[in-house]
Structure 1
Amino acid sequence: MTATADAEAAANELTPLADYLGSVLRRLRALPPLDLDLTQAYGNTLAEDVVAPHAFPAFEQAAIDGYAARWEDLSLARGAGYAPAAGPLPGPGRPGELRPVRLNVVGDLGAASWRPVRLTPGACFSVAAGSPLPSTADVVVPVEWTDQGMAAVEIYRVPKRGYGVRRAGAEVAAGDLLARAGTYVSPALVAIFAATGIGHVVVRPSPRVVIVATGDELVDVGRASQPGQVVDTNSHALTAAAAEVGALAYRVGICDDDPEALRGLLEDQTLRADLIVTTGGTGNGPGDMVRRILSRRDGSRAGPVTFTEVALYPGTALGFGTVGAEEVPVVCLPGDPGAALIGFEVLARPAIQLLAGAEPVFRPSARAHLLETVSSPAGLREFRPAHVAERRGGGYTVQPLRGGPHTLIGLADANGLLVLGERVTSAAAGSTVDVLLLDRRR
């Protein structure tokens, strides 16, 4: 049997990634909903649809500073006619000259005005943006189109009917659906909730995610790695990744390969965690303590967690299960930093999204034009750091980054992940491939 055939035979024994993800996510449920004050809702996802109780704007108001008038008084005034908004004001001796329209200014209105007022023929009100309109007013003339008079005003340009006016309910009518369950509460969404009279919303809380790095070889950051020592990259990187998703992320730090210490640490963390993410020790080697301890099914406090060889590159060994009396979900990722970050993307991140009630749980994807020929391991679904760019005529291009999926420098530079399926061993330049689009806030 050839080396290629051996590799394919080994890959056939692996669990397809899609099947594995489906089996894991089906075991998770969104966190119980909370009724939160609007000021605390940002960053969570809605647990139910939100309907506008009131219209916005709630009343007809001026959209600009100017003079609220009846368009009929402007259009019927002797010598007046519509002039476009662009260009200089017409004046004496200029082509298109218009005779000014003169109206009496009978009062001033501001945003805090509340008494109802009514316009009579030949009159207008000086108004500030946001002030309620007098009844029968159907146009606001900008200040700069007038002589800015106080007792009487001359208007040099006649706008169209409705200019400068915000109609009641123009943006949102009472009963309109503002957002569906699963929607992320953004600052703009907070604004429209407040504007329509909503002070509380029902949301899913942000999941509390605890990150634990395991291994006797690990040392904390601030020093260089030496033989027998490896700087703990993963707990810092995965804590940042969990926070990027919107989780309340807690870095526990380093846990040695001590069975009792690991059991005790996980038991303690179940009191404050909705999800625990471990990194390291998922293989079958003699030092892979996480797999040995968490896969036990002898009724110990820490088990059981199932470890599966998944058709994923990099990092095939993944674990999932529950720990503690509260049965807190735990995701176990490989110790290699590149594999841990890819494992977080494909497994931990969707789990966090599901717990948060967010929709969709997966990153957005696209089809892209490949700029460089690449090869991929047979039987494995590869996620490779890449740079994705929009094409001038539409669509995307994707450029694989140097070093492949294991290199941190490629992951740091990537704004997307090139996805090569299990049956793809080579993808030629010019072919169309799948990419995941990463949300990089920069």
Structure 2
Amino acid sequence: MSTAAPRPAAEDRLWSVDEHLEDILATVRPLEPIELQLPDAQGCVLVEDVMVPVSLPPFDNSSMDGYAVRVADVAGASEEFPAALEVVGDVAAGQAADLLHVGPGQAARIMTGAPLPPGAEAVVPVEWTDGGLGEGPVSAMRARSLAPEQAAGHVRVHRPAEARAHVRAKGSDVRAGDRALEAGTVLGPPQIALLAAIGRAFVRVRPRPRVVVMSTGSELVQPGEELGSGQIYDSNSFALTAAARDAGAIAYRVGAVADDADTLRSTIEDQLVRADLVVTTGGVSVGAYDVVKEALEHVGDADEEGAGVEFRKLAMQPGKPQGFGSIGPDHTPLLALPGNPVSSYVSFELFVRPAIRTLMGLGDVHRPTVRARLTADKALTSPKGRRQFLRAAHAEGSVRPVGGAGSHLVAALAHADALIVVPEDVESVEPGAEVEVVLLG
């Protein structure tokens, strides 16, 4: 669990986006490293460099099914005048390389991945030979089906081969003593493959953060159920759970909690056992039923010193009401987001995603930003003193708004892959102007 610093008293003022984010990142700490087996380490972040103990591949080996030969013995070979070589034996994958020797006028039948035997300088693919039948060239499928005694004897090679042809050199991938992976690397499938290939069964990583997501509101109904009068489907918890997983977390979605402070407080307390971070959505404004504020405003009074959640007004649109603090004996961070779908998602991208990436121990926790030319039918307007984030589609140096500015427009959000950022001191942006863009994809 992360350890939170004592929370300052809430101030009745307008916080900037940067101030709120800085406060979050100054409080959240990377999770403690643990040792994990490779299958469990996917998505985790390395906390130390991994060195290569043995070269990869560890020996010269064949990249083809064929015959290991000496270059001089196949020089000038052709369909009309093939090189006839004595087959001295087979070399299979997993077999020791020194069980046989290829001398002048000799060849060894070799399988893909098998070690190159002493004396051999190259591999000729089976398609370049008669497959040891004493006839013309044979298909690779037919040659692979031959029993060893059928292929023993002699083989005719119909093409020359250069030195090291179809040979994977020892250490051609990585050499012993090289650095395989740097600390800070996120372990995806290719990195797991490399670790396994160099013989690592365990790695030291920061675990993926466990994030609990819950929506609040008595009007919320789960998808698949029938809507009653005045009810809507709960989309926020699904969106934020998916976003948390996309950020690298292990995310748990809790069913929507009704507008009851005691129920919400009890639900959150029950979830702390599996949470490194708690995210709520809804109930942080000034309405009569904003139960998140009611449930958590004074939670620090009963918890250990320094715990508690502050509710703030931010100079941004959408997403003005926000809450942040820590709860429970382990001071688990909690971010309380607005309930409108767009406000909730934008707030996640700006505040929750960086918190998750910080828990993971990553150096760069922010989405990439670019400058792009605004494509729009008319000027964009923005309230003075607010940093506005508009859903947008970005492509090839240009960006266009998607949907309106309403915080409830989920359909427009589904077609956006970026956010246009309009600074606090800008009230209008003309088409063709260059704007800052946060890339979400």
Match of 1:271, SS state, is helix
Distance of 1:299 and 1:292 partners within structure 2: 13
Residues 312 and 71 of structure 1: is their aligned pair in 2 closer, same or farther, counting only changes over 3 Å? farther
- Residue 189 of structure 2 corresponds to 187
Could you give the per-residue CA deviations for residues 172-213 of structure 1, whole angstroms, max 9, x where no partner exists? 111222222222211111111111111111122121111122
Could you say which residue in structure 2 is the equivalent of 1:403?
Answer: 404
- Write the distance in 2 (CA, Å) between the matches of 1:299 and 1:210: 23
Contact 1:47-1:203 within 8 A present in 2 as well: yes
CA distance in 1, matches of 2:406, 2:112: 55
Please tell me whether residue 347 in structure 1 is matched to residue 351 in structure 2. yes
1:268 deviates by 1.9
Q: Which residue of 2 aligns with 1:168?
A: 170
Q: 1:221 to 1:297 in 2, by over 3 A?
A: closer
Match of 1:38 in 2: 38
In 2, are the aligned partners of 1:65 and 1:143 still within 8 Å (CA)? yes
Quote the Cα distance in structure 1 between the aligned partners of 2:235 and 2:390. Answer: 19
**Identity across matched positions, percent:** 41
- Segment drifting more, 290-299 vs 162-171: 290-299
Q: Give the equivalent residue in structure 2 for 1:66.
A: 66
Deviates more, 1:216-225 or 1:133-142: 216-225
SS in structure 2 at match of 1:402: coil
The match for 2:206 is: 204
Unaligned regions of 5+ residues in structure 1, if any? 1-12, 82-89, 93-98
8 Å contact from structure 1 (residues 224, 231) kept in 2:
no
TM-superposed CA distance for 1:225, in Å, is 5.6
Task: Name 2:139's counterpart in structure 1.
Answer: none
Q: How many residues align?
A: 404
Give the conservation status (yes or no) of the 8 Å contact 2:62–2:115.
yes
TM-score (norm 1): 0.84
Indicate the residue corresponding to 2:251 in structure 1: 249
Q: Residues 415 and 437 of structure 1 are in contact (CA less than 8 Å); yes or no, is this contact kept in structure 2?
A: yes
In structure 2, what is the equivalent of residue 148 of structure 1? 131
Deviation at 1:359?
Answer: 4.2
Distance 1:140 1:427 in 2: 66
The answer to whether the 8 A contact 1:405-1:411 is kept is: no
Name the structure 1 match of 2:138.
none
TM-score for both structures, normalised by structure 2: 0.84
Equivalent in the alignment of 1:218 = 220
Alpha-carbon distance, 1:228 to partner: 4.2
**Residues 437, 137 of structure 1: alpha-carbon distance in 2 compared, 3 angstrom cutoff:** farther
Contact 1:282 1:318 in 2 (8 A): yes
Distance 1:318 1:382 in 2: 15
CA contact (8 A) 1:263 1:301 kept: no
Contact 1:266–1:324 at 8 Å: present in 2 too?
no
Sort the Cα spacing of 1:366 and 1:158 in 2 relative to 1 into closer, same or farther, 3 A: farther
Q: 1:122 aligns with which of 75, 83, 105?
A: 105
Residue 139 of structure 1 corresponds to 122
Q: 1:119 to 1:425 in 2, by over 3 A?
A: farther
1:311 matches 2:293: no
Structure 1 residue 232: deviation in Å?
2.3
Matches of 2:291 and 2:52, distance apart in 1: 54
Q: CA–CA distance in 1 between the matches of 2:65 and 2:299?
A: 73
Distance 1:110 1:428 in 2: 70
Q: Distance in 2 between matches of 1:101 and 1:397?
A: 63
**CA–CA separation in structure 1 for the residues paired with 2:68 and 2:387:** 65
After TM superposition, give the deviation of residue 286 of structure 1 in Å.
Answer: 3.1
Q: CA deviation at 1:351?
A: 1.0
Contact 2:221-2:233 within 8 A present in 1 as well: yes
CA contact (8 A) 2:269 2:328 kept: yes
Query: Is 1:375 paired with 2:380?
Result: yes
Question: Residues 162, 172 of structure 1: CA spacing in aligned structure 2 closer, same or farther, 3 A cutoff?
Answer: same
Higher mean Cα deviation, 213-222 or 235-244? 213-222
Give the aligned partner of residue 49 of structure 2.
Answer: 49
